[in-house]
Amino acid sequence: MTWLARPVAAALTTFTALLLAACATPGNPAGTGGDGPGAPDPAALADHLAPAADGEVIGQGTVLQGGDAPPAFCLGGVMESYPPQCSGPPIMNWDWDLAGGFDSASGVTWGAYAVTGTWDGATFTRTGVPIPLSLYDAMPFDDPLAGRQGLTAPHELERIQQEVFSGRKGHVLTAGTDRGFVVVTVVYDDGTFQARMDAEYGADVVVVLSALRAYG
């Protein structure tokens, strides 16, 4: 099984750039008309964005805040430096005193939690009391590959893995190969990204997992 984890610095740069792109008016950049040569492809732009979630969701990860910057909810990999480094969407309504179980060093505060909240496609807003992961009884997670074996050739899986993990899929956290499939973890998927992967690569080639899951 091989896995790719986006380098932290590159991930932070990519995520910030995508949020800025999402805030711009699609198809009408400054100085051009809606059909001008500088207008972004709506399908390509949509590839970078995670859909909003209906109702509350729950995620497990590291919340990290450096100085006066907004805290980030890191749902992917964390660099094992001291203090650690990671990136992720901003988490609003965060309260370190309420969360507890955190560490601080060199102006950085961090802790690992299960957090319930809402997701608007770009920002996570806390609604519940964070639970330190050391105390969290995780929800059961069904293995989507149980009893399955993919039929795609290994060299093709490697190609697709690299392609899906590239910068054009901005909300991809990890991509790997397992049991004949490309397995991709994204910040949140309501089925839209899975459908996109099926349309692009065929059914039963890419399996999409969502880091944020419906709560309740």
Domain residue limits at 185? 154-214
Predicted local distance difference test score (pLDDT) of residue 125: 98
Residues 183 and 98 in one domain: no
Q: Report the alpha-carbon distance of residue 19 to residue 16 in Å, rounded.
A: 5
Q: How confident is the model at residue 27 (pLDDT cuts 50, 70, 90)?
A: very low
Domain count, the chain: 2
Once rounded to an integer, what is the mean pLDDT over residues 62-69? 96
pLDDT in tens, 130-140: 999 999 988 77
User: Does 10 score more than 50 pLDDT?
Assistant: no
The residues pairing with 58 across neighbouring beta strands, listed in sequence order, are 116, 213
**Element of type H or E holding 103:** strand 103-105
Is 104 part of a structural domain of the chain? Answer: yes
Closest CA to 169 of 11, 7, 62: 11
Residues 169 and 124 in one domain: no
Residues 17 and 112 in one domain: yes
User: Does 171 score more than 70 pLDDT?
Assistant: yes
Predicted local distance difference test score (pLDDT) of residue 49: 61
- Chain center to CA of 31: 32
Specify the range with the lowest mean pLDDT, choosing from 58-62, 102-106, 163-167, 185-189: 163-167
Question: For 2, what's the count of Cα atoms within 13 Å in the CB-facing half-sphere?
Answer: 10
The DSSP code for 145 is: T
Q: Report the alpha-carbon distance of residue 107 to residue 190 in Å, rounded.
A: 36
Residues 127 and 74 in one domain: yes
Chain mean pLDDT for the chain: 81
Residues 116 and 56 in one domain: yes
Task: Kindly report the pTM of this predicted structure.
Answer: 0.76
Is 43 part of a structural domain of the chain? Answer: no
Is 20 part of a structural domain of the chain? Answer: yes
The residue from 100, 135, 170 where one domain ends is 135
Once rounded to an integer, what is the mean pLDDT over residues 188-204? 94
CA distances from 73 to 15, 40, 60, 121, 214 (A): 12, 28, 9, 13, 17
